[in-house]
A = this chain, B = another copy of it.
Amino acid sequence: MALYGVVETGGTKMVCAVVAGPDDIRAEVRFPTTSPEENIPQIIAFLAAHHAQTPLTSIGIGSFGPIVLDKSVPNYGSVAPTTKPFWSNAPVVAPIQAALGVPVGFDLDVTTAALGELTWGAGQGLHHIVYYTIGTGIGAGIIVNGQPLPCMMHPESGHQRLSRNPLDTFAGNCSFHLDCLEGLAAGPAIEKRWGTKAHLLPPDHVAWEYEADYIAQAIMNTILLVSPQRIILGGGVMEQLHLFPMIRRNVLSRLNGYINTPAILDHIDDYIVPPALGNQAGMLGALVLAMRAAE
């Protein structure tokens, strides 16, 4: 049976595992995200120890962004310039591939989670899906024809410009952009706007009307530009499940019957859905990356 190495590099922690399939995790280790000088050797040590016992077929890595995904440039597989300390321009794929000598698949964390949901979760049987994670930050993984959207660089959908609710006096929480999705609707924006953690706000608080409206604007843009077959909303903020019917109503109201697609107009409950894999989406998506890298 083939074994695969899977890696999630996150903003706060690294998760590495050896797996034989989506329900067959053979070993797992976690450690805090610090610097590439410390973390990359930790990842290699874990994978190499298992590789020495039973060879790994391939490795899949889902990484925090921004990352370099253009395979035609020398720094493919590295972290792009970022405000995150220590990680600007850090190679990720190259040292791991050099140490292990097996194929390595690599993509953005949210794209990787989208691949996991497509393959074993809420996107099963579909070809074109978008997976938004709405938590400390906001990002979207866009899958078309079963593959990450081919583009110049990975999407940065969290920074799309929204139309501000005229009653919303919160200044916004993005240091780059006025009134972008992440600055208005990520968890820290909710907390700063209302002075309390999002999950402590009652379901009938007006905060959720603002939130549903902002997320619905992003979904409307996503439908009009990319037209996926389903939109999956995950991340900590979306654990407030009462947001789903509010978002669905707002999207239908905004579209105003314009899109002639029964999948949206008649079946919105199946169109905007929660994830099926919870916090396993990233790991399972990394397995998809590994399996595809082996092909």
Which A residues have a C-beta under 8 Å from some C-beta of B?
66, 80-81, 127-128, 140, 142, 144-145, 149-157, 159-164, 176-177, 179, 217, 220-229, 254-261, 263
Contact A128 B156 (CB under 8 A): no
Which single member of B149, B222, B255 contacts A144 (CB below 8 Å)? B149
Q: Which residues of B contact A228 (CB under 8 A)?
A: 151-152
Give the nearest-CB partner of A217 in chain B: B161
* A131 to B: closest C-beta gap in Å: 13
Quick one: given A152-B263, A163-B164, A179-B163, are A142 and B256 in contact (CB under 8 Å)? no
Q: Closest 8 A-B residue pairs measured CB to CB?
A: A151-B227, A163-B163, A176-B258, A80-B260, A145-B150, A144-B150, A152-B227, A156-B224
Distance between Cα atoms of A144 and B217 in the complex (Å): 24
* A160 to B: closest C-beta gap in Å: 5
Which single member of B145, B162, B224 contacts A159 (CB below 8 Å)? B224
Distance between Cα atoms of A278 and B266 in the complex (Å): 40
Q: Which residues of B contact A259 (CB under 8 A)?
A: 153, 156
Q: Which residues of B contact A156 (CB under 8 A)?
A: 223-224, 227, 258-259
Give the nearest-CB partner of A257 in chain B: B176
Between A and B, 7 residue pairs with Cβ closer than 8 Å are A152-B228, A152-B261, A155-B226, A156-B227, A157-B225, A161-B221, A161-B254
Which single member of B81, B160, B260 contacts A153 (CB below 8 Å)? B260
Contact B256 A221 (CB under 8 A): no
* A109 to B: closest C-beta gap in Å: 17
Distance between Cα atoms of A221 and B156 in the complex (Å): 9
Q: Which residues of B contact A81 (CB under 8 A)?
A: 260
* A180 to B: closest C-beta gap in Å: 9
* A92 to B: closest C-beta gap in Å: 16
**In the complex, which of the residues A145, A159, A256, A263 has the most CB atoms of chain B within 10 Å of its own CB atom?**
A159
* A110 to B: closest C-beta gap in Å: 13
Distance between Cα atoms of A224 and B180 in the complex (Å): 11
Contact B224 A152 (CB under 8 A): no
Distance between Cα atoms of A221 and B181 in the complex (Å): 11
Distance between Cα atoms of A215 and B225 in the complex (Å): 15
Distance between Cα atoms of A150 and B229 in the complex (Å): 10
Q: Which residues of B contact A229 (CB under 8 A)?
A: 152
Distance between Cα atoms of A141 and B2 in the complex (Å): 42
Contact A142 B225 (CB under 8 A): yes
